[in-house]
Amino acid sequence: MDEPEVGKIDRLLQFVLATAGQEDDFEDRQLGPIHLIKYAYLADLAYAEEHSGETFTHIPWKFHHFGPWSAEAYSRIDPALQEVGATCKNTPSRYEGDFTRWSIVDDELYRRLGGELPSSVVRSVKHNVHRFNRSTEDLLHFVYTTRPMLRARPEEIIDFTLPDSLAKKLIKAVEQISKEADEEKLSFKQKQRKKLAREQFRAAILQRLGEKMKKKRVRPSPPRHDDVYFEGIRVLESLAGENIKPEKGVVRFSDDIWKSKARFDPDLS
């Protein structure tokens, strides 16, 4: 990893921790390596969505275990955070080695890095750190369901490029913003005419809905719970056969499931 990329990931990790240091709760200011890595990934994703799939750090991200992982980013945590004087707290854990938490409260560092990093990166870090803090479970669930993760398989390098369908939606959104900007240039009378047309259209829709609501609704009569009813229920249940007995076994899925459209296509349910 060349020097410019090292500088980018270092500043990103420092800003993530400095942003956590702005939280009111003391415990929310403490982040572990897993939090730092995932927040860095989300920042790269936000940047990529505005730069045709190109990430801010340029480091490779990999689908490892249950989420995105970067050995390059992980290797920079200690040197990057030590450089700005962050505090590292190690607590013995019975599950996996030491329980590591980093923290720093430095308003000047927070403001400086916030002014140096791209706006998309800054927005992502501020929003996600404040939203998830140190909640590992919620953060991992959110990260796992991001678009690039849903299109990848385990141990595969993550692709941040936008699919054609999403790219078209973004283009359409930009065009809509341009259209709204053009409307701002309309004269006062033109705006009033458009407003009146919208109100008339809304009134017509509400009138039609009101007419439909006034129509008499057919309400089915409730069934009589007599002997005939219960006998019918008994016959229907007998037609279903014997009750399914619980069994134990192993279910195996093909590796093709990772590339199935059911994971990422919103039109499939």
The pLDDT profile of the chain, 269 residues, written as one tens digit per residue, is: 544 578 999 999 999 999 999 999 999 999 999 999 999 999 999 999 888 889 999 999 999 876 899 999 999 999 999 999 999 998 876 655 558 999 999 999 999 999 999 999 999 999 999 999 989 999 999 999 998 998 888 889 999 987 655 555 555 555 566 566 556 566 777 777 777 777 777 777 667 666 655 555 555 566 677 777 777 777 777 776 777 778 888 888 777 777 777 676 655 54
The verdict on residue 88 lying in a domain is yes
The DSSP secondary-structure symbol of 244 reads P
pLDDT at 268: 54
Could you tell me how many residues make up the chain?
A: 269
131 and 74: one domain? yes
User: Three-state DSSP class for 101?
Assistant: strand
Last residue of a domain, one of 119, 141, 161: 161
Which residue matches tokens 């270092």?
10
Burial of 30 (0-12, 13-18, 19+ CB in 10 A): buried
The verdict on residue 221 lying in a domain is no
101 and 190: one domain? no
73 and 153: one domain? yes
20 and 145: one domain? yes
State how many domains the chain has: 2
The verdict on residue 198 lying in a domain is yes
What are residue 231's phi and psi, to 5 degrees? -65, -35
User: Three-state DSSP class for 211?
Assistant: helix
Q: At what angle do helices 3-20 and 107-116 cross, to 10 degrees?
A: 130
88 and 157: one domain? yes
The verdict on residue 220 lying in a domain is no
152 and 170: one domain? no
pTM above 0.75, yes or no: no
The verdict on residue 155 lying in a domain is yes
The verdict on residue 98 lying in a domain is yes
Last residue of a domain, one of 161, 192, 227: 161
Q: What is the C-alpha separation between 86 and 80, in angstroms, rounded?
A: 9
- Half-sphere exposure at residue 4, Cβ-oriented, CA atoms within 13 angstroms: 3
The verdict on residue 245 lying in a domain is no
187 and 117: one domain? no
* Domain encompassing residue 198: 163-212
54 and 168: one domain? no
23 and 150: one domain? yes
134 and 185: one domain? no
74 and 187: one domain? no
Q: What DSSP letter does each residue of 11-75 carry, written as one string? A: HHHHHHHHHHTTSSSTGGG-B-HHHHHHHHHHHHHHHHHTTTT--SS----EEETTEEE-HHHHH
171 and 141: one domain? no
The verdict on residue 248 lying in a domain is no
